[in-house]
Amino acid sequence: MAGVNAMEKKLAEYKCDTNEAISLKLVRFPEDVDDDSTTFHPEYSHQLFGDDEIAFGYKGLQIQLFYTAGNLSTLFKVKYSSKVTEAFDCVEPDDVEGKIREIIPSGFTSNADDFTSLLEKEANFKPFGTLLHSYTVHNEEAGEFTYQIHKAEITCPGFREYHERLQTFLMWFIETASFIDADDDRWDFFLIFEKYNKDGETLYATVGYMTVYNYYVYPDKTRPRVSQMLILPPFQGEGHGAQLLEAVHRFYCSLPKVQDITAEDPSENYVKLRDFVLVKLCQNLPSFAEDKLPQGFSADMVQEAQDKLKINKKHARRVYEILRLRATDMSDEKQAREYRLEVKKRLFGPYRKNQRELAKMKKCLRPEELVSHMGQMDTQTQHEELEKSYQDVVEGYRRIIERIATHA
């Protein structure tokens, strides 16, 4: 037994955390290749390396995935200080290189000098598709940066290959990511690029992107549904997600055939971002005027949000609640109570549904089965959960309001 434990201990030395082992870079200058400050790491690697996110069989494992900043030409190298086969003849290491090759397209290089030479071609890279929007971001240390949002088609020359390289980032930063069938012409692609200067030339760096699928709505409308959205880590926290979502929203609002705009299985962060953008868009609509808010959520709000901004009723309701909170003096007991009841009325919907289901169950379940279901729907617990839901919602709304205020 002691021998087995000793063997397990030795083998454990050949386990590596793949989130730490994988190094990603967006390279603009040759010196970036050896600059650790430009390196970032995945949040997730379970889709390739299992739930434990571990690669077995190596010590000092380094998986380098470096991309030129614009065209995303790729350097892929696997390095390690030792391999398990050097110490144990009959133990096979994981095929790390094979796993990475599953998601990165062919055409990459494994030679650092060849990769550096590709940087010279970056001056030829230009953003794909049609320019929708430009904006600037001010950095106190580095000054002003200019960004562009483009809408691209899969038929744009070179875009298919570029998209195949770009989508590899999804695997590292979206937990349930999967690649799309880009040959389906109902996909729209939206990209953000940063303009920067290098040796007197204007170059472009990839910042992030969004894919949107256009669903058919009977009889003659479409419903664009956001499928994937990613701002690359070096650019996160700078407001690019909001700029992209607003630009995409405005684009679809200009199309008469669009019914409304939705998202596929949105993350919590996406919902917060959408709330922020939709409140910005709606706050100046007449039906959402401050004097209208205390009168409750109205059909006029639903209609105007739908007609002018392609916002569906569910999302318009959230916008109303956020704007009404901003207009409510929560230190005034009457105003605070009215607001609380208004929000809880919406939140109570799922609990009311449970009560209807319970009434049906009483007619068809045996007593012992009914007791088990009633336990799940205890009234006191429902009230406690409702109050907690309300507090969580208001806390989230306050953060949206604060963010709106800083961008005023």
pTM of whole model > 0.85? yes
Domains in the chain, CATH or no CATH each: 15-122 (3.90.360.10), 126-265 (3.40.630.30), 267-369+378-407 (1.10.10.390)
Q: Which residues contact 289 (CB under 8 A, 6 or more apart)?
A: none
Of 376, 407, 184, give the one whose Cα is nearest residue 281: 407
**Contact status, residue 247 vs residue 133, Cβ threshold 8 Å:** yes
Answer whether the bond into residue 219 is a cis peptide, omega within 30°: yes
The pLDDT tens digits along the chain (408 residues) read 445 577 788 888 899 999 999 999 999 999 999 999 999 999 999 999 999 999 999 999 999 999 999 999 999 999 999 998 888 888 899 999 999 999 999 999 999 999 999 999 999 999 999 999 999 998 877 789 999 999 999 999 999 999 999 999 999 999 999 999 999 999 999 999 999 999 899 999 999 999 999 999 999 999 999 999 999 999 999 999 999 999 999 999 999 999 999 999 999 999 999 999 999 999 999 999 999 999 999 999 999 999 999 999 999 999 999 999 999 999 999 999 999 999 999 998 765 555 555 556 556 655 555 455 545 556 777 788 889 999 999 999 999 999 999 987
Is 264 part of the annotated catalytic residue set?
Answer: yes
Give residue 89's identity as a one-letter amino acid code: D
- C-alpha 280/C-alpha 110 separation (Å) is 46
- Cα torsion angle, 399, 246, 242, 313, sign: positive
Measured between alpha carbons, how far is 128 from 156 in angstroms, rounded to an integer?
7
Structural contact between residues 116 and 33, judged by C-beta atoms closer than 8 angstroms: yes
Q: Is the dihedral of CA 289, 291, 292, 294 positive or negative?
A: positive
Of the residues 31, 102, 264, 369, only one is catalytic, namely 264
